Amino acid sequence: EDTTPIDGSVLAKISQSNEKDVDLAVKAAWKAAETWNKTSVTERSNILLKIADRIEENIDMLAKIETWGNGKPIRETSLVDLP
């Protein structure tokens, strides 16, 4: 379980992984890296810009999630950790 330092409540239940899970994750990462390497610089740029837009659209929610996870004040998370 992952708990918040704010009040000790459970944020998430996390499954234990094993060697097979790790191997599958590594294989997936290598496959993704191969695909990314074949992607043009322009397309990579467009993808990263879309990700940045999504972060900006959801910055308040992300700040709340980060605050619950690390226990920092929301102001610090919003102004220091996420920009």
pLDDT, tens only, 5-48: 999 999 999 999 999 999 999 999 999 999 999 999 999 999 99
What is the number of other CB atoms lying within 10 angstroms of the CB of residue 76?
Answer: 14
The domain segmentation of the chain, as residue ranges, is 18-81
Rounded CA separation 54/48 (Å): 10
Q: Per the structure block, which two tokens stand in for 18?
A: 């094993």
**pLDDT above 90 (res 83):** no
- Find the helix or strand (DSSP H, E) in which 37 lies: helix 19-38
pLDDT bin (cut points 50, 70, 90) of residue 82 is confident
Query: Is residue 59 classed as helix, strand or coil in its secondary structure?
Result: helix
